[in-house]
Structure 1
Amino acid sequence: MNQKEKFSKDDGAEKVDESQYRSLIGCLMKVIGAQLYNSLNDPDDSVRDRDGHGSHTASTAAGNKIKGASFYGVAEGSARGGVPSARIAVYKVCFQSGCADADILAAFDDAISDGVDIISVSLGKRSAPNLNEDSLAIGSFHAMAKGILTLNSAGNGGPNTYSVGSVAPWMVSVAASTTDRQIITKVVLGNGTTLAGSSINTFVLNGTEFPLVYGKDATRTCDEYEAQLCSGDCLERSLVEGKIILCRSITGDRDAHEAGAVGSISQEFDVPSIVPFPISTLNEEEFRMIETYYISTKNPKANILKSESTKDSSAPVVASFSSRGPNTIIPEILKPDITAPGVDILAAYSPVAPVTDEAEDKRSVKYTILSGTSMSCPHVAGIAAYIKTFHPDWSPSAIQSALITTAWPMNGTTYDDGELAFGSGHVDPVKAVSPGLVYEALKADYINMMCSMGYDTKTVRLVSGDNSSCPKDTKGSPKDLNYPSMAVKVEETKSFKVEFPRTVTNFGSANSTYKATVINTNSHIKVQVNPDILSFKLEKEKKSFVVTVVGQGLDSIEAPIAAASLVWSDGTHSVRSPIVAYIDRNIG
């Protein structure tokens, strides 16, 4: 029986037409394996994606090109993954009850055994554990030793500093940033004023204007503070039904809907999310405008429109939720490494997965819009796979270096935590294919780094899984690891001098000369490079240099962080490494 006959004749299966058959075969050719790990004994004992997260991330990395994809018409266009020609092997380790370390490690082992080229992991810890206690660090170390690069979400703990959970230097930690497509949900007031709110609303209200009521005026039982938040049982149906309600907090939207409101407007402007009925959230300034209108108008009215896409000229900007450094485990390793699109990402979705967490929302979709570092990670994973098609023999660290040193520079002065939010900058897939020079680190280098951290042989072996050992006279520190970025934690107001030894390998033209340029607008540090000219005569030739960073002292008020960049250029390639000095405090 051929595949087409099988899908049309299996007991209990619905007969499929030619287009469905092609879709099924295309899926089978794309997803070449799927395994389940469930040591938690979660009731959802199925490899099928029931919450949509896996489908979304996998299609972002390697989904086929699809025309006319959208979420109910929002963000409509052609959608495709980073490498549509790639195939996907799925390893399901997470459930509503969590992600077990044993399952994560088992999945890594199987992926390595299966011979995957790139591992994309859109999960992580709320805070960074020690390397020997971190299943992601351990699993990705084993992958690195077998020539496989792991990419991991930085985390969604921002804007708090010290929130990045992905800190091991042998995997790429990916932050999340915006794209130039912004999704807005307009609020139109009765006086014609239009405000651009935030949400992903697919509903169209049946009418052009609806009475507007403030939560504090829709209760007879709660005090003004609770009522304006639309909290709990404050809202009275007779005062809310058929109206749009104004709430100080987005947490009151559900209560407003249950009380009979046709829509709600709240004050918590941030990354938009899909809503189960017409909702728009406004920033503080716009919320005050609507308050003024409400107070000054005898019969205030409003409407909430269906979401639409608009151009965002400020992009890319790091998302507020994206986890920040510093690296709490290895302060000398800058994390996150890089940022990539992670806001309002349209990608595939499981049709059995709920669109929102509202039980009454019965919508089923093939595509949806999500935000998170889970969404940014597969973007970079796709780019890493793309690089590997050009350079199949490159080590994981060479691909990692290419991603980091070719990233688009971002303006660190727009963030309190600068490079601790975005690492080297926004990923550039085109330039990453030909970086010119790369910073390589191999298994032995990472072992030496762990030994320099104070890990003994027993602890190192918990990570390496083999008989690696630390020498009795371990020298150096983690700053000596041949990493594409450079970071140092310094004492507040104390002068400092730090040297970073580095080695680059030439993957550009055989005969080439690179000159060093230091980009530094920060008066608190000075950077020198010795030598500042590197001449190569061979491909894969290596050259070493030392970067010296000197500072008179950073302080918590004026300069908690100081950053510069080292750029090696041969006139064609620009190989850029961020240099960051920071004090040990809550910078944000």
Structure 2
Amino acid sequence: MGDIPSEWKGICQNDVDKSFTCNKKLIGARYFNKGYQARVGQLNSSYMTPRDEDGHGTHTLSTAGGAFVANASLFGHGSGTAKGGCPHARVASYKVCWPPVNGGGGCYDTDILAAFDAAISDSVHVLSVSLGSPLHDYLNDGIAIGSFHAVKNGIKVICSAGNSGPEAGTVSNVAPWIFTVAASTMDREFPAYLYFGDRNLKGQSLSSTSLTQGKYPIISSTDAQAANSTALDAQVCIPGSLDSTKVNGSIVICTSGTIARVEKGEAVLQAGGVSMVIINTARSDNMIIPDAHVLPATHLTYSDGQTLLSYLKTNSKVLGYVTKPETVLYAKPAPFMASFSSRGPNTITPGILKPDITAPGVSVIAAYSEATSATGLYFDERHVKFNIISGTSMACPHTSGIVGLLHSLYPEWSPAAIRSAIMTTASVTDNKGEKILTSTSTATPFSYGSGHVNPNTAADPGLIYDLNTTDYLNFLCSIGYTARQVASFQQGYQCPSQRLRIYDFNYPSFTIYNLTSSVTISRTVKNVGPPSIYTVKIEEPSGISVEVEPSSLKFDASEEKKFNVTFTVTYPSSDYVFGSITWSDGMHFVRSPVVVLTSS
């Protein structure tokens, strides 16, 4: 999203204005594969194209900037008008990820960096990067390096947090100049019910077919183990692990894990089953995700799965059926943190909270490439114009669209200012007015960062925490980078003689790591609203005293003010504790999460 490169002019140059809209949507696409070729060898002409043969890029790009399209749906589910977060943006795609060939595939840093260079040259305004990799130091992280140079050029870079949750310390893309996005649900769901005996259980599904009227035997996959299979393979419904004489004509219960959920349904079909019920493990608990199953199916929570299995044990023959999925709006509670969404703390720089924000990343409908199937699995021959999929990759472009809208409102704002506006206006409650949940407990900033995105309030944040390139370079100095290492990010930069404390880095969140007794830190906020007086409200973390000085800030228009925060241990904790600091003038509520770990 950005100014028109010279080679693309002529498409809508006569009606471009500062709101970045035009009557005809400009779309550009480029590909980068020299790093890939260096690994796998010379490629034929079929690889010399930006065409999306996977669907991921089409889905994420249309989520960020897709135009209005009526009657979008997946197999009739979720039907309605679809649009991207910033539907009048001009969009460009940069293809950097490739399929396995000769033992190599994926997204190579060389190609990622080349794409960043191209995006900078193309003068884009927003880069939505739904990519990630195992955690590395910033010097060895292609996305961190490329995004630094993009941000230095005023480009807003938004990245996905990763899909390695719910374990702690799994969040990726943790550089402080990146806007890192976790995934949560929205208030739309696709229920499909399992009826048996005098009971019913609510699951989720996007099946493309439905059962004919009637009742069918319900069996556990472990009771249908094929002679040449293991009990574990049968439990998770590996293809070939089920005995067709036992499965034929039945609804089969499979356990989640090991292989794709849709592939389990294919295993049931191969064995002659008519429908499938997936039950969660204790690890996944309450997180159920609808999938485009190849047979009538539904996905149940762990507790509901145990209820079903207990019923089977106490009844010799159980009959039932699975209903066709529905589309239901205004579901509660929502949002709800996705169990797959990667969690903090930030293991590269514990003094910076990551992720920064959460956004819708479960069951997102968007455009899809017809060069692949609905699931991308080897047996799936269904091709679709729209798909409903889940991941932090889907949450990232939701946030990118919001960033695009804010850029249109405030084209002179820095990437950090726009990130601050979104973070400090986020919500930490769901549509029931209660704290946002995870699959097992109340969520914390390690799940959602500052909270769930709220675009309307982000457009009028009141105050912002700003950062510039020098701040980021001083940050690298503060974490011990040598002059030579800092030069990898900017040639000739010299670290100041008095190094910045990471505590004083002007981030819109507060993370105090290994606090022994007391520490005082500083922050600077800028008024981007009318002249006003802001007072502070503190939610203290358990066992921590928090004092803000001054407790009131009087602003003229565009004025900056500094304040200090003192954190004192009143009693130590063996784990992280959480709170918040909120500045308000009665109209604006500028909230920052507080994360503290005491040292024994």
Aligning the two structures, in what range does the TM-score lie when normalised by the shorter sequence?
Answer: 0.7 to 0.9
Match of 2:72 in 1: 69
SS of the equivalent of 2:133 reads coil
Conservation of the 8 A alpha-carbon contact between 1:417 and 1:561: no
Q: Which amino acid aligns with 2:272?
A: G
**How far apart, CA to CA, are the structure 2 residues paired with 1:27 and 1:505?**
33
Match of 1:56 in 2: 59
TM-score (norm 1): 0.88
Match of 1:174 in 2: 181
**How far apart, CA to CA, are the structure 2 residues paired with 1:194 and 1:245?**
16
C-alpha spacing 1:241/1:435, structure 2 compared with 1 (3 Å): same
| Greater Cα offset, 151-160 or 475-484 | 475-484
After superposition, what is the alpha-carbon deviation per residue over 1:205-241, rounded to whole angstroms, capped at 9, x for unaligned?
Answer: 2333222233333346367665444446442222222
SS of the equivalent of 1:308 reads coil
C-alpha spacing 1:382/1:168, structure 2 compared with 1 (3 Å): same
Give the CA deviation at 1:67.
1.9
**How far apart, CA to CA, are the structure 2 residues paired with 1:551 and 1:584?**
10
C-alpha spacing 1:229/1:72, structure 2 compared with 1 (3 Å): closer
**How far apart, CA to CA, are the structure 1 residues paired with 2:443 and 2:198?**
40
Conservation of the 8 A alpha-carbon contact between 1:490 and 1:496: no
Moved over 6 A (4+): none
Residues 1:445 and 2:471 aligned together: yes
**How far apart, CA to CA, are the structure 2 residues paired with 1:28 and 1:93?**
29
Match of 2:591 in 1: 576
Residues 1:477 and 2:498 aligned together: no
**How far apart, CA to CA, are the structure 2 residues paired with 1:373 and 1:57?**
10
Conservation of the 8 A alpha-carbon contact between 1:452 and 1:474: no
Q: Which amino acid aligns with 1:569?
A: S
**How far apart, CA to CA, are the structure 2 residues paired with 1:219 and 1:377?**
41
After superposition, what is the alpha-carbon deviation per residue over 1:318-345, rounded to whole angstroms, capped at 9, x for unaligned?
Answer: 1111111111121111110011111111
C-alpha spacing 1:285/1:512, structure 2 compared with 1 (3 Å): closer
Match of 1:368 in 2: 387
Match of 1:308 in 2: 326
Residues 1:46 and 2:46 aligned together: no
Q: Which amino acid aligns with 1:431?
A: T
After superposition, what is the alpha-carbon deviation per residue over 1:68-108, rounded to whole angstroms, capped at 9, x for unaligned?
Answer: 21111111122111111111011111123110101111111
| Greater Cα offset, 174-183 or 206-215 | 206-215
Match among 205, 221, 224 for residue 199 of structure 1: 205
Conservation of the 8 A alpha-carbon contact between 1:132 and 1:460: no
Give the CA deviation at 1:249.
4.3
Give the CA deviation at 1:375.
0.4
**How far apart, CA to CA, are the structure 2 residues paired with 1:341 and 1:249?**
23
| Greater Cα offset, 321-330 or 215-224 | 215-224
Residues 1:424 and 2:442 aligned together: no
SS of the equivalent of 1:499 reads strand
Match of 2:220 in 1: 214
Conservation of the 8 A alpha-carbon contact between 2:477 and 2:500: no
Give the CA deviation at 1:519.
2.5
After superposition, what is the alpha-carbon deviation per residue over 1:446-504, rounded to whole angstroms, capped at 9, x for unaligned?
Answer: 1111101100111112223x322223x3423222111111101226xxx4312221111
Give the CA deviation at 1:27.
13
Q: Which amino acid aligns with 1:263?
A: S
SS of the equivalent of 1:365 reads coil
Where structure 1 has 5 or more consecutive residues not aligned to the other structure, the ranges are 1-25
After superposition, what is the alpha-carbon deviation per residue over 1:528-548, rounded to whole angstroms, capped at 9, x for unaligned?
Answer: 1111111122x2211111111
Conservation of the 8 A alpha-carbon contact between 2:54 and 2:376: no
Conservation of the 8 A alpha-carbon contact between 1:343 and 1:372: yes
C-alpha spacing 1:551/1:271, structure 2 compared with 1 (3 Å): farther
Residues 1:547 and 2:554 aligned together: no
Where structure 2 has 5 or more consecutive residues not aligned to the other structure, the ranges are 1-20, 100-104, 281-286, 430-434
**How far apart, CA to CA, are the structure 2 residues paired with 1:393 and 1:584?**
42
Task: List aligned pairs for 1:5-24, cutoff 5 A.
Answer: none
Match of 2:308 in 1: 290
Match of 1:17 in 2: none
**How far apart, CA to CA, are the structure 2 residues paired with 1:234 and 1:99?**
34
TM-score (norm 2): 0.86
SS of the equivalent of 1:275 reads coil
Task: List aligned pairs for 1:258-407, cutoff 5 A.
Answer: 258-268=270-280, 270-310=288-328, 311-407=330-426
After superposition, what is the alpha-carbon deviation per residue over 1:26-58, rounded to whole angstroms, capped at 9, x for unaligned?
Answer: 999434210000121376432111111111111
Give the CA deviation at 1:306.
2.3
C-alpha spacing 1:547/1:368, structure 2 compared with 1 (3 Å): same
Match among 122, 127, 137 for residue 114 of structure 1: 122
Conservation of the 8 A alpha-carbon contact between 1:219 and 1:235: yes
SS of the equivalent of 2:81 reads strand
Give the CA deviation at 1:145.
1.1
Match of 1:18 in 2: none
SS of the equivalent of 1:463 reads coil
After superposition, what is the alpha-carbon deviation per residue over 1:329-379, rounded to whole angstroms, capped at 9, x for unaligned?
Answer: 211111100111111111111112221243332111111101111000111
C-alpha spacing 1:86/1:523, structure 2 compared with 1 (3 Å): same
SS of the equivalent of 1:323 reads coil
Match among 518, 523, 526 for residue 538 of structure 2: 518
C-alpha spacing 1:249/1:497, structure 2 compared with 1 (3 Å): same
Give the CA deviation at 1:413.
8.1
Match of 2:96 in 1: 93
Conservation of the 8 A alpha-carbon contact between 1:185 and 1:201: no
| Greater Cα offset, 228-237 or 117-126 | 228-237
**How far apart, CA to CA, are the structure 1 residues paired with 2:415 and 2:97?**
26
**How far apart, CA to CA, are the structure 2 residues paired with 1:210 and 1:384?**
50
Match of 2:171 in 1: 164
Q: Which amino acid aligns with 1:376?
A: A
Task: List aligned pairs for 1:430-509, cutoff 5 A.
Answer: 430-464=456-490, 466-471=491-496, 473-490=497-514, 495-509=516-530
Conservation of the 8 A alpha-carbon contact between 2:525 and 2:562: yes
- Identity of matched residues, %: 40
